[in-house]
A and B are shown apart, each in its own frame.
Chain A
Amino acid sequence: MPRVLIVEDDQDVRRAVQLGLRHQGHEVFAVETGEEGLEQLLPFRPDVVVLDLMLPGISGLDVCRRIRDRDQVPIIMVTARGDDIDVVVGLETGADDYVVKPVQARVLDARIRAVLRRQDASLPDGTRPRAETHGELVVDRAGLVVTHRGEPVTLAPSELRLLLTLSASPGQVFSRQQLLEAVWEHSYHGDIRLVDACVKRLRNKLGEGRNPRYVQTVRGFGYRFGTS
């Protein structure tokens, strides 16, 4: 049973989402404020955090940032306004996915399950070696460990899944739509900003500068994993 931590200030919504997700078979713990959410992170040890962006006290974005500072637990943002700037900032802060209110419990459940599958990110390919080396980057597909220049890199689930998907076929160009379907399990017409934000985060963690070595942009088409 996946453990879901809900941070939502409105009481009705909080209780409704709790009810809906329990009905879908999740173990749910709901809190009202960001501070509470951060406090409950260690004791409750959720598998996924559903985080409302509009919170009294510390904002959802701050909560997201603070969670990411110490934990790579998947985070799904709930945006009340669906304001584009909030979505982009939220994604760049480290959220793995987002949904716009009002959202059906069924949809939220599907997103939660998709993001959880990302943690179990090993791709169905038995012929590959356990660990691949791409320049100074070592990707251990079985152990789901990534090291860069000998240092382990901590990656959030979507970042890891994105890296694994891209590096599975070095040199192959993936369109944003393809990546959305493969990594986020969204429809073809999902929000491509998820991809761009995640690529940005991944590049930062791999210490890539203006001319990325590993995750390269292919103008007009999408991204590919560098073969060099």
Chain B
Amino acid sequence: MSDRMSTRTWRTARMRKAAGTRRTVPEAPTADETPAAGPGAGPRRFLRAALARIPLPLRGLRPRLLASFVLVAVASALGTGALAFREARTGVLQQSQDSVINRFRTSVDAVAPSIPLAPDRSDLQFAVDQVLYANRSSGWRIMATYGGHRAYAPSAGFVEPSPEMLRSVRDRRVAVFQRMNVDGRPRLVVGMPVTYTSGEGTEPRLSGFVMYLEVPQTTEEGYVEAMVSGIERATLVALCLAVVLALLAASGVLRPVRALRRATRRMAAGHLDVRLDVTGSDELADLSQSFNETAAELERTVRELRRLEAQGRRFVADVSHELRTPLAAMSAVTDVLDLEGEGETGEALRLISEGTNRLSGLVNDLMEISRFDAGAAELNRDEIDLAESVRRTVASRWRQEQVETRLPGPGELRARVDPRRLDVVTANLIGNALRHGEPPVRLTMGVRVDGAGMAWAVIEVTDNGPGIAEEAMLHIFERFYKASTSRARSESNGLGLAITAENVRLHGGRIRAANLPRGGAVFTVELPLHRDDTDTEADGGTR
């Protein structure tokens, strides 16, 4: 039975980190930095409301892309950094610990056989000196304990091991290490209990003799700090890179989006020839391409419609013009015809004369309409007394009892209008009213000031006929629309109200038709009163 201590059974391979390390290094991204996932309906509504309050430049694509890129960059840099840090730190520390503990164990192994089973203080001192001597240049401090004895090398002042450590080395046969901070300097303290065996195959037993090692870990700490600052720098670089990339990506996305927005607005303003430059082959390029195709199709359709419309208008103008020459010949000779003649010949001549006159009226109205359509209708304004104009219109066409007028006094209502066109408007409305009801027709004129402070001359023509049918109301100012073909007398060619409406519109006025509750229809014309008189006269003159 050997009573020599043996260290073959040192079990130091599995190391255990004792409690009490005081290093604080972030090992994983904190919870704040990971995006909160899956907010509920309530928070989402709140979020949307909050977003809506943010001004558009901050809600736009660019800031959103920027935030996403930065978030991803920071998260990945920190995550990767933290993982790498943890692994590297563990590796560095473990390697240095392993090597320190191995060296320590070797030294203790070397000195252990020469230590008696119950060593006294000088034995302990010998042991610590031996161990220290074997590792002179490592900055080690060694302490040996046995019972109440303690020995130190190179000097006393060994850091006091924690009670858990003392307990552990007393009761268990494993080397224990602990990282401690002494005066802000990290240190590794290793406690190594020495065991002995009584012979082959017997269980090693604790001898009560323990050697402690205290070694500064400044170098390892330096490594770790370098690593941390490296990760910090990497994160910063990633952040800058993310911002640059985000801005690049944002402008890449935003440029076509903005071009599209501009183009859409231009198109809405009526510029159908607007096209986008298609660059690249992504979805935005695809969208631009679709926009171009849509715009082209729209432009083509509109052009076709305009062409057809212009063709139709030109046709009307051409037909009217062509009708005009034979009509001119016919009109010139109707007076030569003996309209007072007796019998069938006289009747035939009267029919021809009447037909010629109506045809002339129709062709003149058609020419007038084509001028409106071609935008060639001119407004020859003159400042006149409106009441006087209406009085003249009535007096030149109808008997006094046919038209009841209520007009302002002379000089009360003057306006800049085209006298000829005002005459057409008034005459058409009165004529229309007389066709649809019994005389007298009522005509009133007055001034109305609207909400915007604009003054309007209001002319109202009221008849006592059956009124306008509901379905006719919408079409009453359309060309060749006759409210009732059976009732409309022959002198109406269906263009009168259309020409009236065009004339009113040319003046910047408004016209509307309505039925009176007690029966009868009322046509209301409103013409703007230009009091300021800003148009300049073509010719000079004193003012």
Q: A105-B333, A219-B533 are in contact. Are A16 and B542 (CB under 8 A)?
A: no
B396 at the interface (CB under 8 A from A): yes
Given contacts A16-B328, A212-B542, A216-B541, contact A189 B393 (CB under 8 A): yes
Complex Cα distance, B537 from A199, in Å, reads 13
Q: Given the known inter-chain contacts A82-B367, A177-B382, please indicate yes or no for A105 contacting B332, CB distance below 8 A.
A: yes
**Alpha-carbon gap, A193 to B389, bound state (A):** 17
CB pair B419–A177 under 8 Å, yes or no, is yes
Q: Is the beta-carbon distance between A189 and B537 smaller than 8 angstroms? A: no
**Main DSSP-derived SS at the B contact region:** helix
- In the bound complex, what is the Cα–Cα distance between A142 and B533 (angstroms)? 41
Query: What are the interface flags for A22-52 relative to B under an 8 Å C-beta threshold, 1 for contact and 0 otherwise?
Result: 0110000000000000000000000000000
Residue B492 is within 8 A (CB to CB) of chain A in the complex: no
Q: Is B147 in contact with chain A by the CB < 8 A criterion?
A: no
Contacting B at CB under 8 A, from A192-228, are 192-193, 196, 199-200, 203, 209-212, 215-223, 226
Interface residues of B (CB under 8 A from A): 321, 324-336, 357, 360, 363-364, 367, 376, 378, 380, 382-384, 388-389, 392-393, 396, 414, 416, 419-420, 422-423, 533, 537-543
CB distance from A35 to the nearest CB of B (A): 21
Residues of B within 8 A of A188 (CB): 388-389, 392, 396, 419, 423
Residues of B close to A223: CB separation below 8 A: 541
B214 to chain A, nearest CB (A): 113
Task: Answer whether residue A17 sits at the interface, using C-beta atoms and an 8 A cutoff.
Answer: yes
Q: Is A66 an interface residue (CB 8 A)?
A: no
In chain A, residues 158-202, which have Cβ atoms closer than 8 Å to a Cβ of chain B? 175-177, 187-193, 196, 199-200
| Nearest chain A residue, comparing its CB with the CB of B357 | A104
27 contacts between A and B (CB under 8 A): A10-B328, A13-B325, A13-B329, A16-B330, A23-B335, A81-B321, A83-B376, A100-B364, A101-B327, A102-B331, A102-B363, A104-B331, A104-B332, A104-B335, A105-B331, A105-B332, A105-B333, A105-B336, A188-B392, A189-B393, A189-B420, A190-B420, A191-B380, A211-B541, A212-B541, A216-B541, A217-B539
Residues from chain B with Cβ under 8 Å of A176 in the complex = 382
- Chain B: which residue is nearest A216 at the CB level? B542
A84–B371 CA distance with the chains assembled, in angstroms: 10
Chain A residue numbers with a CB within 8 Å of B331 are 16, 102-105
Taking A19-B332, A104-B335, A210-B540 as given, write out 7 further A-B residue pairs in contact, using a Cβ cutoff of 8 Å, ordered by the A residue number. Answer: A16-B328, A17-B329, A102-B328, A103-B332, A108-B332, A175-B384, A188-B389
Please tell me which one of the listed residues B329, B360, B392 contacts residue A16 in the complex, with CB atoms under 8 A apart.
B329
Note all chain A residues with C-beta closer than 8 A to B416.
Answer: 220
- Across the two chains, which residue of chain B brings its CB closest to A20? B332
Residues on B with C-beta less than 8 A from A100 are 364
Query: What is the CA–CA distance of A100 and B378 in the complex, to the nearest angstrom?
Result: 16
Task: Choose among A20, A82, A83 the residue that contacts B335 (Cβ–Cβ < 8 A).
Answer: A20
Q: Which residues in B have their C-beta under 8 angstroms from that of A226? A: 542
Whole-angstrom distance between the alpha carbons of A192 and B326 in the complex? 29
- In the complex the two chains form, what is the Cα distance from A20 to B327 in whole Å? 14
In the complex the two chains form, is A211's CB within 8 Å of B324's CB?
no
Q: What chain B residues lie within 8 Å of A20 (beta carbons)? A: 332-333, 335-336
Determine whether A58 belongs to the interface, using a CB cutoff of 8 Å to chain B. no
List the A side residues contacting B335 at CB < 8 Å: 20, 23-24, 104-106
Contacts of A123 in B (CB 8 A): none
Contact B537 A12 (CB under 8 A): no
Nearest-neighbour CB distance to chain A for B277, whole angstroms, equals 43
Contact between chains at B539 and A203 (CB < 8 Å): yes
User: What is the bound-complex CA distance between A17 and B325, given in angstroms?
Assistant: 12
In the complex, what distance in Å separates the CA atom of A9 from the CA atom of B383?
39
- B539 to chain A: which residues have CB within 8 Å? 196, 199-200, 203, 217
CA distance A217 to B539 in the complex (A): 8
Q: Are A217 and B330 in contact (CB-based, < 8 A)?
A: no
Whether A15 is near chain B, meaning CB under 8 Å from some CB there, is yes
Complex alpha-carbon distance, A17 and B321, angstroms? 18
What chain B residues lie within 8 Å of A101 (beta carbons)? 324-325, 327-328
Instruction: Compute how far the CA of A69 lies from the CA of B539 in the bound complex, rounded to whole angstroms.
Output: 24
- Determine the residue in chain B with the shortest Cβ distance to A221: B383
Q: Assess the A187–B384 pair: CB atoms within 8 A.
A: no
Query: A89 at the A/B interface (Cβ < 8 Å)?
Result: no
